[in-house]
Amino acid sequence: MMTSAVPAASKLNDLNAGGPAAAGNHRIGIIAGGGSLPAAVADNASRSGHRPFIIGLAGSAARDIERFPHAYVHIGETGRILRLLRQGSCTRIVFVGGIRRPNLFRIKVDAGFFLHLPKLLRFFAGGDDTVMRRVARFFEERGFQVIGVQEVAPNLLAPSGAFSRARPSAEDFNDIRLGLGVTHALGLFDIGQAAVVARSCVLAVEAAEGTDAMLERCRKLNNWGLGGRRGVAVKRAKPGQDYRLDLPVIGARTVELAVEAGLAGIAVEAGAVLLADLDVLVEKADKSGLFLWGVSPGELTQT
């Protein structure tokens, strides 16, 4: 992870690489939070003929975004973010990667922040889905089209069925069905997107702390008198989810924590959950005998 300082290299960094912006081939702007997904999305966008320009949020964005035309900004530099997107001819933008809610009394801001201050202050009331909808509306009102990751990198979404060697047992499927019901209920209140169920017992639900922290809590329940691996971590999109924003994500660390918690597998909503570092994720699951299962739309309607 980078520090909060913005490197000198953040100055547009060869914005015209790959052809002049004036040529009419509009870029896709990627607002990059933490993790490996922003660079993965940029890779996929490039292979599909798009021209990504990444705005990395200082303190969150990983260094691998520097393989692409990019700039680093602080989350409170609203005016600079808008200016960079316009200078880069980014008519469409994608939000990717984890972002922590900022402390409004400590963030670095610019004149654009104060210009839009009343609207920006309203962003941070409510759950994550509510906040992201407000952020998207803010950019749309200023002429940008907000699109989803699936429009530029559909192969990063979970497939249906098994994408590991191991497969769920009949007991696991019972736990998956219960987990889908629990996560649906959580999502109705914009609380979380994940839960852990073992032998029809709900062990944990996700709230503001995130999936990995939820699984860390489950590690303490690993020695509860059961032989072998039992239980499933279930993750899905919220009811009414805006699929352009804040899609659920699992990565290699999610698998590691599920293994440490003694779980049998992870089930995610196919087509609605992003897979970070897919090759590493599957390799770790196969090595540990953990199943990875994509819940199909037909299975969802049965919950």
pLDDT digits (tens, 9 = 90+) for 85-118: 999 899 999 999 877 655 555 666 666 665 655 5
Quote the strand ranges of the chain, DSSP E: 27-32, 52-57, 70-73, 90-96, 145-146, 161-162, 194-198, 201-205, 232-235, 249-250, 265-269, 274-275, 291-295
**Would you give the distance in Å from CA 47 to the centre of its chain?**
21
Return the number of other C-beta atoms located less than 10 Å from residue 41's C-beta: 24
Burial of 20 (0-12, 13-18, 19+ CB in 10 A): exposed
Sign of the C-alpha dihedral computed for residues 152, 153, 155 and 160 taken in this order: negative
pLDDT digits (tens, 9 = 90+) for 12-59: 444 443 433 333 456 899 999 988 999 999 999 998 888 999 999 988
H or E element at residue 279: helix 278-288
Compute the mean pLDDT over every residue in the chain, rounded to the nearest whole number: 83
Q: What percent of the chain has pLDDT over 90?
A: 53
| pLDDT (average), residues 200-217 | 91
| pLDDT (average), residues 137-146 | 91
Q: How far apart are CA 27 and CA 183, in angstroms?
A: 36
| Token duo for residue 218 | 């489950």
- Asked whether the predicted pLDDT for residue 225 surpasses 80, the reply is no
What pLDDT was estimated at residue 244?
Answer: 85
What pLDDT was estimated at residue 18?
Answer: 40
Query: Which positions ≥6 away from 248 have C-beta within 8 Å?
Result: 193, 194, 211, 235, 236, 237, 268, 269, 272, 273, 274
| Token duo for residue 243 | 């699929």
What pLDDT was estimated at residue 24?
Answer: 41
What pLDDT was estimated at residue 213?
Answer: 92
Write down the pTM of the prediction: 0.80
Range with the largest mean pLDDT of 23-27, 91-95, 129-133, 236-240: 91-95
Residue ranges of domains in the chain, CATH in brackets: 8-153 (3.40.50.20), 157-300 (3.40.140.80)
